[in-house]
């Protein structure tokens, strides 16, 4: 998928492979609207018919730097646009510039069309609250283990817990920070949720 962010005569285009099996998901910004082809399905959504966009940071084991845009239609449909593409069984390649350019152009086209779409960033509020509650419980448990290791003089255990906590905070902290629920406007697309 090298043609991930090419400009066409009518507008910007973007494509990615969501899996090794199956065809690429293809999107194009035309004068009429967002044209998409996913597998055997295709459609054209006028920019004023797009009801919502949710941007989020969604790392996976094969690609720690992956972003996602969920686009909703007034008729009830929803499509996902990812910033990575499967290349081989062991390689998921980032398409950072193509994804960024396409998402920014989509927002600009929607603004020009007078769209009233709901623009949200991060996780849903309930999901985010559950993530924070889980992290709070984990922090209490790790603190308890750290105190116990200090009391019994198990300094190797203390170092292990501190190292694990630092690694965990580094890995999960970015996810939590980037995915904080919020709304945004067409002219202020959140940079933290674009590659």
DSSP state of 15: E
Q: How are beta strands 91-94 and 84-88 bridged, if at all?
A: antiparallel
Backbone phi, psi, residue 171, to 5°: -70, -50
Instruction: Clarify whether residues 47 and 72 are in a common domain.
Output: yes
- DSSP string across 80-145: EEESEEEEETTEEEE-HHHHHHHHHHHHHHHHHTT---EEEESS-HHHHHHHHHHHHHHHHHHHHH
DSSP state of 64: S
User: What residue has token string 């419980």?
Assistant: 137
- For residues 71, 19, 5 and 2, what is the CA-based torsion angle, rounded to 10 degrees? 180
Instruction: Clarify whether residues 57 and 19 are in a common domain.
Output: yes
How many domains, in total, are found in the chain?
A: 2
DSSP state of 26: E
Instruction: Clarify whether residues 31 and 104 are in a common domain.
Output: yes
Instruction: Clarify whether residues 73 and 132 are in a common domain.
Output: no
Instruction: Clarify whether residues 54 and 117 are in a common domain.
Output: yes
CATH code: domain of residue 21: 2.30.29.30
Instruction: Clarify whether residues 94 and 20 are in a common domain.
Output: yes
Instruction: Clarify whether residues 76 and 117 are in a common domain.
Output: yes
Q: Does a structural domain hold residue 67?
A: yes
pLDDT at res. 141 = 93
Q: Does a structural domain hold residue 138?
A: yes
Given a cut of 90, whether residue 1 has pLDDT beyond it is no
Q: Does a structural domain hold residue 149?
A: yes
pLDDT tens track for 78-107: 999 999 887 766 667 778 889 999 999 999
Domain of 129? 125-176
**For the chain, how many helices (H) and strands (E)?**
3, 11
Instruction: Clarify whether residues 87 and 151 are in a common domain.
Output: no
Question: At what angle are helices 125-151 and 155-178 packed, to 10 degrees?
Answer: 170
User: What residue has token string 């960033």?
Assistant: 121
Q: Does a structural domain hold residue 150?
A: yes
Instruction: Clarify whether residues 58 and 130 are in a common domain.
Output: no
pLDDT tens track for 24-57: 899 999 999 999 999 889 999 999 999 999 999 9
Q: Does a structural domain hold residue 2?
A: no
Q: Does a structural domain hold residue 7?
A: no
Mention every residue, 6+ apart, whose C-beta is less than 8 A from residue 13. 3, 5, 6, 7, 26, 27, 28, 29, 102
Instruction: Clarify whether residues 21 and 58 are in a common domain.
Output: yes
pTM of the model: 0.79
Q: Does a structural domain hold residue 42?
A: yes
Q: Does a structural domain hold residue 8?
A: no
Instruction: Clarify whether residues 112 and 79 are in a common domain.
Output: yes
What is the share, in percent, of the chain residues with pLDDT greater than 70? 90
**What would the mean pLDDT of 6-32 be, rounded to a whole number?**
79
Instruction: Clarify whether residues 86 and 142 are in a common domain.
Output: no
Q: Return the closest-CA partner of residue 48 out of 37, 36, 33.
A: 33
In contact, 60 and 89? CB cutoff 8 Å: no
Q: Tokens representing 40?
A: 């055997």
């Amino acid at each position: 998928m090298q043609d991930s962010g090419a400009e066409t005569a009518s507008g910007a285009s973007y494509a990615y492979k969501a899996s090794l099996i199956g065809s690429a998901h293809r999107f194009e910004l035309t004068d009429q609207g967002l044209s998409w082809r996913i597998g055997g399905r295709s459609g054209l959504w006028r920019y004023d018919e797009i009801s919502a966009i949710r941007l989020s940071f969604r790392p996976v084991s094969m690609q720690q730097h992956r972003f996602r845009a969920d686009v909703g239609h007034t008729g009830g449909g929803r499509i996902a646009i990812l910033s990575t593409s499967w290349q081989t069984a062991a390689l998921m390649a980032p398409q950072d510039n193509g994804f960024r350019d396409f998402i920014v152009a989509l927002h600009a086209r929607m603004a020009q069309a007078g769209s009233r779409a709901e623009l949200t960033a991060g996780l849903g509020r309930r999901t985010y609250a559950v993530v924070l509650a889980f992290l709070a419980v984990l922090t209490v448990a790790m603190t308890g283990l750290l105190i116990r290791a200090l009391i019994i003089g198990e300094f190797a255990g203390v170092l292990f817990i501190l190292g694990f906590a630092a690694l965990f905070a580094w890995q999960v902290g970015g996810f939590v920070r980037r995915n904080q629920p919020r709304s945004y406007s067409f002219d202020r697309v959140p940079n933290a949720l674009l590659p």
